[in-house]
């Protein structure tokens, strides 16, 4: 098949039990999308099935894969991932190429989302951005002067694991009081549940009785005017804003972009983040920074991964 016909690129986000895939044109427009759940023991096969579905939109030149873990892009190996099934970690790259016959680019999910926002979302006219992804975990990525800043270890940008409460809860990383222990999706739910035991007037109480709720439910109920949910977002926003203030003082970065389901609450979460960041940062640094919500929505990681495949596929070099 002539290469000129393969001008589309796929991007896939692998989360803990679900996958999202998109196909983008060379111009970066999304032309197809699919979602799937997967069984951990068959991750490679299920990603390959998703790719088969995405190929119905036309030939695909290469695939970007955003995963919840650290990736060495030079060796295409997964270094650390608590979110991927262990059997899939070691050789996911060559297994996927074998299963699909396509070139794959692996990247950390927050890095992929940051690249997506930088190229075609809320950061497209900025030189420097800090992206914060608030989901099952809290990830971050720094793009400085067009380049992804990964630091000496490759882990730069891990804002979810900076300490905001020295006496806080234990975190999966081994530290206590990390931002993630307060503001990740599951921790927003945990804190809400603890308070709902004392305040049963919230519309979330009904969801709790029926089965359970997610951080996206808190965002939705806040948008519907539930005072308790609004208060939960204000308190969460204060914690995120505290961490953001440190980033502003440290980097004086041009734009901070916040993504994840909780950001669906719009100003109800963004405003307390900005207010707290302003309160806790140096004024000249704060004034030079804009803090905005991500624009690419739930497909952000997949779109960013596809853009990485478009821009760096097959070159074997580090992104941006
Ligand atoms: Zn931590």
- Cα angle 263, 265, 267 (rounded to 5 degrees) comes to 95
pLDDT in tens, 215-238: 999 999 999 999 999 999 999 999
What is the Å distance from ligand 1's center to 185 Cα?
14
Most distant CA pair in the chain: distance in Å? 65
What is the Å distance from ligand 1's center to 57 Cα?
40
What is the Å distance from ligand 1's center to 174 Cα?
6
What is the Å distance from ligand 1's center to 180 Cα?
6
Q: What is the pTM of this model?
A: 0.90
Contact 185, 135 (CB under 8 A): yes
Specify the 3-state DSSP secondary structure of 34.
strand
What is the Å distance from ligand 1's center to 113 Cα?
20
Identify the H or E element spanning 246: helix 227-251
Residue 51 to residue 30: CA distance in whole angstroms: 15
CATH superfamily of 125-295: ATPase, nucleotide binding domain (3.30.420.40)
Contact 269, 262 (CB under 8 A): yes
pLDDT at residue 258 in the model: 98
Residue 267, both tokens: 């100003």
pLDDT averaged over every residue in the chain: 89
What is the Å distance from ligand 1's center to 80 Cα?
14
Q: How confident is the model at residue 76 (pLDDT cuts 50, 70, 90)?
A: confident
Contact 162, 179 (CB under 8 A): yes
What is the Å distance from ligand 1's center to 160 Cα?
6
pLDDT at 134 over 80: yes
pLDDT at residue 88 in the model: 59
Contact 107, 64 (CB under 8 A): yes
> What are the start and end residues of each CATH 3.30.420.40 domain in the chain?
3-113+299-312, 125-295
pLDDT at residue 316 in the model: 45
Contact 308, 107 (CB under 8 A): yes
What is the Å distance from ligand 1's center to 283 Cα?
28
What is the Å distance from ligand 1's center to 69 Cα?
14
Which region among 19-23, 190-194, 299-303 has the lowest average model confidence (pLDDT)?
190-194
What is the Å distance from ligand 1's center to 117 Cα?
25
pLDDT at 204 over 70: yes
pLDDT in tens, 143-185: 998 888 888 877 889 999 999 999 999 998 899 999 999 999 9
Q: What is 3-113+299-312's CATH number?
A: 3.30.420.40
What is the Å distance from ligand 1's center to 166 Cα?
12
Average pLDDT, stretch 52-65?
A: 94
């Amino acid at each position: 098949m002539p290469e000129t016909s393969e001008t589309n690129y796929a991007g896939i986000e692998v989360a803990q039990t679900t996958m999202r895939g998109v196909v983008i044109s060379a111009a970066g427009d999304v032309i197809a999308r699919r979602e799937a759940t997967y069984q951990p023991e068959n991750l490679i096969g299920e990603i390959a099935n998703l790719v088969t579905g995405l190929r119905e939109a036309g030939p695909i030149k290469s695939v970007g894969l955003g995963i919840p873990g650290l990736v060495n892009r030079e060796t295409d190996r997964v270094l650390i991932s608590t979110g991927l099934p262990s059997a899939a970690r070691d050789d996911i790259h060559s297994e996927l190429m074998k299963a699909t016959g396509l070139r794959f680019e692996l990247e950390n999910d927050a890095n992929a989302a940051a690249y997506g926002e930088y190229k075609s979302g809320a950061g497209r006219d900025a030189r420097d951005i800090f992206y914060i992804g608030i989901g099952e975990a809290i990830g971050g990525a720094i793009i400085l002067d067009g380049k992804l800043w990964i630091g000496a270890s490759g882990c730069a940008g891990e804002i979810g694991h900076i300490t905001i409460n020295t006496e806080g809860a234990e975190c999966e990383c081994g530290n206590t009081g990390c931002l993630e222990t307060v503001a990740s999706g599951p921790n927003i739910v945990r804190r809400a549940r603890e308070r709902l035991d004392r305040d049963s007037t919230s519309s979330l109480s009904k969801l709790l009785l029926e089965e359970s709720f997610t951080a996206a439910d808190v965002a939705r109920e806040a948008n519907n005017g539930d005072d308790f949910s609004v208060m939960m977002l204000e308190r969460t926003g204060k914690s995120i804003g505290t961490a953001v203030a440190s980033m502003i003082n440290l980097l004086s970065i041009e734009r901070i972009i916040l993504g994840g389901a909780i950001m669906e609450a719009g100003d109800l979460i963004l405003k307390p983040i900005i207010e707290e960041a302003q309160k806790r940062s140096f004024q000249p640094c704060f004034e030079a920074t804009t803090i905005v919500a991500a624009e690419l929505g739930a497909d952000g990681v997949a779109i960013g991964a596809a853009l990485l495949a478009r821009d760096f596929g097959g070159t074997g070099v580090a992104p941006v």
